[in-house]
Amino acid sequence: SLPVLYHSNDDSFLVIAHRGASAQYPENTMPAFKGAVEMEAEMIELDVMMSSDGVPVVFHDARLDDHSDGKGLLKDYTLRELRTLDVGSWFSEQYRGEKMPTLEEAIEFASGKIALNIEIKTEAVSDELHGGVEEKSLELVKKYGMEDHVIFSSFDYRALEHLKKLDPAIPVALLYNRSESENMSPLELVRKYGVDAFNCSYNQFKKKWSRELKEHNIPHFIYTVDQPRRMRRLLSAEVSGIFTNKPDLLKEVATEF
């Protein structure tokens, strides 16, 4: 099953805002998520990490250094400490003081407005001290009635299996990772891990995969594509959706295609 969209085009090709509308706003922040809704993306992709006191937060990197004014590993900081950081000014002065969203805040915002692709980062899955990033994330999704409007994904296949065990009905996508895939085809991987969809980078994607997945009705989504020429190549392969930092541009290209 795939997420039910709040507003969708007819052929249900998904414009997915990668970390929100992150070409125009700092990635994985509330302004980037609001931007994605304004640009009428069908879905927002965001990344989940765990604070040292076991709260799921939205941030991509294991280290704080590049996308906040913090230093070192995110997992060494409590939620309280993380919330004092500035996650906006690395992008532009205009966003100085922007706070790291909790997963709860992001889900609450999206509910009733836009579907979510919640990517569980490997670092959060391997958190021995707290664990349970899958349980906690799923619980939040259910708290806001978003279970029909999300798809989970991870490069860590343990997380995919764990989510399916917790709730076989929750949509899950496998993030393709060549080194873990032992020459298996996308279809074989999807079957092996019992997932609903296949996500893959533009550089690794092969057109023939698309044909095979389509024959078996398996949705497949490609990241991260900001160039019109590449968008058109994927549209002609009839992929199910594209992750982009520029949802406004992808909307335009898809409409003209």
Q: Give the catalytic positions in this structure.
A: 18, 60
What letters, b where the CB count within 10 A reaches 16 and e where it falls short, cover 55-84? Answer: bbbbbbbeebeebbebeeebbebebeebbe
- DSSP 8-class letter at 239: -
d(CA 257, CA 253): 6
Among 45, 123, 134, 196, contact with ligand G3P (rule: CB under 6 A): 45
Among 17, 18, 133, 220, contact with ligand G3P (rule: CB under 6 A): 18
Q: Which residues contact 61 (CB under 8 A, 6 or more apart)?
A: 67, 74
Write out the binding residues for ligand G3P, residues 162-181 only, by CB under 6 A: 175
Among 243, 247, 249, 250, contact with ligand G3P (rule: CB under 6 A): 243
Q: What x/- string results for residues 183 through 222 when contact with ligand G3P is judged by CB under 6 A?
A: ----------------x-----------------------
- Would you say 248 and 20 are in contact if contact means Cβ atoms under 8 Å apart? no
Nearer to ligand G3P by Cβ, of 77 and 221: the residue is 221
CB of 200 to ligand G3P, least distance (A): 9
248: left (phi over 0), alpha (psi -120 to 50) or beta: alpha
Which tokens sit at 133? 């990033």
Among 153, 240, 244, 245, contact with ligand G3P (rule: CB under 6 A): 153
Q: Is 223 in the site for ligand G3P (CB under 6 A)?
A: yes
d(CA 17, CA 197): 17
Write out the binding residues for ligand G3P, residues 64-123 only, by CB under 6 A: 119
CB of 93 to ligand G3P, least distance (A): 25
Binding site for ligand G3P (CB under 6 A): 18, 45, 47, 119, 153, 175, 199, 223, 243
